[in-house]
Amino acid sequence: MLAIYKKELRSYFTSMIGYVFIAFFLVIIGIGILITNLKGTYANFEYTLSTISFIFVLLTPILTMKLMAEENKQKTDQLLLTSPLSAGAIVVGKFLAVFTVFLSAMAITCLYPLILSKYGEVPLLSAYSGIFGFIVLGAAYLAIGLYISSLTESQVVAAVISFILFLFTFLMRSLADAIPADNKTAFMIFIVIILFVCLILYRMMNNMTIAVSGGLLLVLGLFLTYMFKPTLLDGSVSKIADWLSVVARYDQFNYGIFDVTGIIYYISITFLFAFLTTQVIRKKRWS
Partner 1 sequence: MIEVKNLVKRYGNHTAVDDLSFTVDRGQVLGFLGPNGAGKSTTMNIITGYISATEGTVTVNGVDVYDEPETVKKMIGYLPEQPPLYPDMTVREYLDFVADIKKVKKSKKLKMIGDVMEAAKITHMSERLIKHLSKGYKQRVGLAQAIMGYPEVIILDEPTVGLDPKQIIEIRDLIRELSNSHTVILSSHIMQEVSAVCDTVMIIDKGKLVLSDKPENLSARLGVTGLMKLTVKGDSETIISALNKIELITNIEEQPVTTEGIVNLNLFHEENDDIREAVFYAMCEAKTPILEMQTVRMSLEEIFLKVTNQDNTAELDPTEQPEAVPVEESKIEEEETSNVSDL
3 is a contact residue toward partner 1 (CB under 8 A): yes
**34 interacts with partner 1 by CB under 8 A:** no
Only one of the segments 4-12, 35-43, 126-134, 144-152 lies at the binding site for partner 1 (rule: CB under 8 A); that segment is 4-12
Q: Where are the alpha helices (DSSP H) in the chain?
A: 2-14, 17-33, 45-51, 55-64, 66-74, 77-81, 87-109, 111-117, 124-150, 155-178, 183-205, 208-228, 236-244, 251-254, 260-283
Q: Determine, following the binding rule CB under 8 A, whether residue 286 of this chain makes contact with partner 1.
A: yes
Q: What 3-state DSSP class applies to 34?
A: helix
Of 69 and 137, nearer to partner 1 (C-beta) is 69
Q: How far is the CB of 17 from partner 1 (least distance, A)?
A: 11
* Shortest distance in whole angstroms from residue 82 CB to partner 1: 4
Among the listed residues 9, 80, 105, 116, the single contact to partner 1 using CB under 8 A: 80
d(CA 109, CA 283): 39
Binder of partner 1 out of 11, 100, 117, 236 (CB under 8 A): 11
* Span from 11-19, 145-153, 209-217, 244-252 in contact with partner 1 (CB under 8 A): 11-19
Q: Does 203 bind partner 1 (CB under 8 A)?
A: no
Q: Taking a C-beta distance cutoff of 8 angstroms, is the pair 249, 265 a contact?
A: yes
Look up residue 104 and give its amino acid. S
Question: For partner 1, which residue of 13, 83, 218, 235 counts as binding (CB under 8 A)?
Answer: 83
Residues 130-149 contacting partner 1, CB under 8 A: none
Among 13, 86, 119, 188, binds partner 1 (CB under 8 A): 86
Whole-number Å distance between alpha carbons of 11 and 94: 11
Q: Applying CB under 8 A, which of residues 77, 137, 148, 166 lies at the interface with partner 1? A: 77
Which lies closer to partner 1 via its Cβ, residue 86 or residue 185?
Answer: 86
**Residue 262 and residue 250 in contact, taking contact as beta carbons nearer than 8 Å:** yes
Vertex 32: Cα angle to 27 and 38 (nearest 5): 115
Angle between helices 87-109 and 2-14 (to 10 degrees): 50
> By CB neighbour count within 10 A (0-12 exposed, 13-18 middle, 19+ buried), where does 126 fall?
buried
Instruction: Kindly state the DSSP code that residue 37 receives in the 8-state scheme.
Output: I
Q: Does 207 bind partner 1 (CB under 8 A)?
A: no
Residue 25 CA to residue 38 CA, distance in Å, equals: 18
Task: Give the nearer residue to partner 1 in terms of CB position, either 1 or 171.
Answer: 1
Binding of residue 16 to partner 1 (CB under 8 A): no
Q: Which is nearer to partner 1, 41 or 83 (CB)?
A: 83
Which of residues 151 and 240 has its CB atom nearest to partner 1 in the complex?
A: 151
Stretch that binds partner 1, among 110-118, 146-154, 233-241, 278-286 (CB under 8 A): 278-286
How many CA atoms lie within 13 Å of 130's alpha carbon, on the beta-carbon side?
24
Q: Please report, as ranges, the residues that interact with partner 1 according to CB under 8 A.
A: 2-4, 6-7, 10-11, 14-15, 74-86, 284-287
